[in-house]
Amino acid sequence: MYKRGECPPLLVVFDSCEGFTVEADGHRKDMTFITEYTDDVDYIKNREHDDCDSMMTLLLATDPSNSLLICPNKRGNIACFINGINNHTSEGKKKQNLKCVRYRVNGECRVFLVATRDIAKVSEKLLDERELEFHKWDRDAAELLKGVQEKLNVLGEVNPYNRLALFMFDLCIGCV
């Protein structure tokens, strides 16, 4: 399926030190759409005692009762197995190879995970833990998405995995 561009070449593997994690099953170019972080969006206050270890903070509001998160308990996809990395050290920053890109379609917040550099086959997917927390919607988001779309347009001609990302970014450019 991934050779036809229907899904990214990812494997969920078990590591004795880190548990389940995600590895690349093929080479991924910089700015390639990896996956969307999906499932139920809920208020943080409703999940304070939840035992799910893959929750992603979606919005930290000034009023904590309005803060939101994504909890992949029911319909989560492969994204919940992607490891966060502590990038407070230079070694950690060197390992990071994914970035969260958030967008809004019809008033609904969506989160993509996008490669920030070329990823070699069987390279572990690592996401900056600080990227898991989105403090607010920036006005610069539209400019960021336009820049990403331009790069994806160039890469999409060569890389079939970017076709879905191109379609999704075309949908959301006017909505941010």
Domain boundaries, the chain: 2-175
The SS3 call for residue 23 is strand
Q: Which residues of 2-29 are buried (b: 16+ CB within 10 A; e: fewer)?
A: eeeeeebbbeeeeeeeeeebbbbeeebe
This model's pTM is above 0.85: no
Phi and psi angles of residue 77, each rounded to the nearest 5 degrees, phi first: -110, -160
Q: How confident is the model at residue 76 (pLDDT cuts 50, 70, 90)?
A: low
Q: Which residue has the higher pLDDT, 61 or 83?
A: 61
Phi and psi angles of residue 104, each rounded to the nearest 5 degrees, phi first: -125, 130
For residues 95-113, average pLDDT: 79
- The 10 Å Cβ neighbour count of residue 121 is 11
The CB-side HSE value for 116 (13 A sphere, CA atoms) comes to: 15
CATH fold of 2-175: Beta-clip-like (2.170.270)
